[in-house]
Amino acid sequence: MESRIERLCIERGLKMTGQRRVVARVLSEAGDHPDVEELYRRASALDQHISIATVYRTVRLFEEQGILERRDFGGGRARYEPTEDGPHYHLIDVDTGRVIEFQDAEHERLMHAIAARLGFEVVSLRLELFGRRLPRSNEDRDARPARGGAARSGNTAEGASR
Amino acid sequence: MESRIERLCIERGLKMTGQRRVVARVLSEAGDHPDVEELYRRASALDQHISIATVYRTVRLFEEQGILERRDFGGGRARYEPTEDGPHYHLIDVDTGRVIEFQDAEHERLMHAIAARLGFEVVSLRLELFGRRLPRSNEDRDARPARGGAARSGNTAEGASR
DNA sequence: ATATTTGCAAAGCGTTTGCACGGTT
DNA sequence: AACCGTGCAAACGCTTTGCAAATAT
């Protein structure tokens, strides 16, 4: 069965080898932000005939095609996630390494305002919050995205950055 | 004559070798965000008796002492700047590689609000704006920090990140 | 059939480190 | 004098690459 990313590859006319199919599937099914080593591990579980060099090459190809986005959360290894619709940012739990995605309209606005007052237009930006879980108060018992933004969480393979 | 950073080293009781003195001076005089190779180049100009390994070690030591801050603007090399009073961020001109520093009180507030609504407190954060110079309009002829924040600019040694 | 992709191992890059020597306190 | 910092070169971790064999179109 065709994974979402495999479909994107075909649309773009990429040659679909067994290895690419497997990497595409692993990425399609990943809810987190795996690094190359982790992708290699997951891909190997589905198909022994993959070398880590191919994972590197595939990941680079997919990034050039706009299928994947490379993230650098510090710690020396690049991490990847399928390209999403709109811009979103990451909050990294410094204790667990868990990555929570969020977006915020006000932040978008503010970034453009700041750039504008310096005489620039925003080409791209990088925002990462490193935070520590707050003891939740009594009247804030439910997990729910509060007004003003949305959040989605996903686990990461490993701990926080250096 | 004692550089600002050399004074900080002495305050902290660091052993002041010739090499550290030179690196301290180079850093004190740097208005930009040099990487290790660039620091090594500038230090070597003042004193041949420096190896790049020592620059690496010194820069790490200074960072541990809170004298220096390591930045990662992408591109694989770490870059350094003397620790400043308050938090500030960077806008990188994608065409020239110039780095402009800025701060913004509203942004601080917003970051804490976003973290709070996700149930976190901010430990640290990373914000970088990549932008392109806007053609300046007629009625905006002077360079001046606009209301709401301050900016200071400094050149970098090299171009923008990948 | 032909151009691309793969695996392997070697190389590359920024950074760190073991060791013997040299300098600072 | 004791210790710590240094230079050199080797090692490191992640990533890329040259080459010959394998594969997709």
pLDDT, tens digit, 9 for 90 and up, residues B76-114:
899 999 998 788 999 998 888 789 999 899 999 999 999
DSSP state of B35: B
Answer yes or no: is pLDDT of B147 > 80. Answer: no
The interface residues of chain A toward chain B in range 88-107, judged by CB-CB distance below 8 A, are 91, 93-94, 100, 102, 104, 106-107
Mean pLDDT: which of A6-20, A142-156, B68-82 is highest?
A: A6-20
Mean pLDDT: which of A103-112, B130-139, B144-153 is highest?
A: A103-112
pLDDT digits (tens, 9 = 90+) for B21-57: 999 999 999 989 999 999 999 999 999 889 999 999 9
State residue B71 phi and psi, 5-degree precision. -120, 150
Q: Residues with Cβ < 8 Å from B138, sequence gap 6 or more?
A: none
Among chain B residues 14-33, those with CB within 7 Å of any atom of strand D: 14-15, 17, 19-20
Between CA B139 and CA B155 the distance in angstroms is: 27
pLDDT at B25: 96
CB contact under 8 A, B100 and A123: no
CB contact under 8 A, B115 and A129: yes
| Banded pLDDT at A115 (limits 50, 70, 90) | very high
What average pLDDT is seen over chain A?
85
Q: Is the pTM of this model over 0.85?
A: no
Burial class for A54, CB neighbours closer than 10 Å (0-12, 13-18, 19+) = middle
Residues of A within 8 A of B78 (CB-CB) are none
Q: With contact defined as beta carbons under 8 Å apart, do B36 and B59 qualify?
A: yes
Residues of A within 8 A of B102 (CB-CB) are 114, 118
Between CA B26 and CA B28 the distance in angstroms is: 5
Instruction: Measure A90 CA to nearest chain B CA, in Å.
Output: 10
pLDDT at A157: 42
Between A146 and B73, whose confidence is greater?
Answer: B73
